[in-house]
Structure 1
């Protein structure tokens, strides 16, 4: 497979991820940021113009740049992510009615994800949730 087709593949994947990210901005409980972080990585390999557009986007750019530069998540982002996970787990519990072990397994995975998000530094080195 040629270099041009690989680059086109990264571009298509980046566009799909941007689409998912924008859907997530409007659909409750669907994540936005992770899709846009992955899209920016795809655009790094395929389109510097689209990468710049995403990194300079007025709404999403600051968070993406903070993640890229410092692996940082804003306090507001941490709160939103943890609340989203808690609501998502609550909906899972109420609608699926999982058994004890499945419920605990999902709770542990979500708790680990929440711990990861909360453990990230805040932009500019400001600590705390």
Structure 2
């Protein structure tokens, strides 16, 4: 029976660290699944859950992180947040609007009492404040606002006839 590097590492770890790695792995899969659901369900985030999954997998199964940081759509956001704590302006806007919308929907559907509304609203406000204070990173270069288009009508007159005319 062959032993892998992971098996050898797990065998040399103390039992508490091994249990923590298993817990992190389970939580990472849960976050990954929630992020996947977020790709399909409006107002549910994907990137936030995948950032959490990446963080957890970096501490339990680092080889699983490559898929997320190389993802064509979400990889750059995950990488920038993990490397320098940056959140793009679009991500900040989406997060804050999503939290406010979720709070409004929760209040409308669940009709909680004022103490719960203030507690949840306060927590969401603190999270929104934290998100808004994260750096945004360099702005992308603006696209040119004007483009010069010219039409060379003389080119039609200079066009050569086909070398082998049909017929």
Common fold by TM > 0.5? yes
Q: Provide the rounded CA distance (Å) in 2 between the counterparts of 1:5 and 1:98.
A: 38
Q: Provide the rounded CA distance (Å) in 1 between the counterparts of 2:127 and 2:95.
A: 9
Please, what TM-score do these two structures have when normalized by structure 2?
A: 0.65
Q: 5 Å matches for 1:9-28?
A: 9-28=23-42
Match of 2:100 in 1: 86
Displacement over 4 Å in runs of 4+: 2-9
Quickly say closer, same or farther: Cα 1:47–1:99, change in 2 above 3 A. closer
Please, what TM-score do these two structures have when normalized by structure 1?
A: 0.82
RMSD: 2.2
Q: Provide the rounded CA distance (Å) in 1 between the counterparts of 2:120 and 2:16.
A: 41
CA deviations over 1:39-78 (Å, ceiling 9, x no partner): 1122213333321111111111111111011111110000
Match of 2:49 in 1: 35
Matched, 1:48 2:56: no
Structure number with greater CO (CA < 8 Å, separation at least 6) is 1
Higher helix proportion: 1
Q: Mind listing any 5+ residue stretches in structure 1 that lack a counterpart? A: none
Q: How many residues align?
A: 126
Match of 2:9 in 1: none
Q: 5 Å matches for 1:66-105?
A: 66-105=80-119
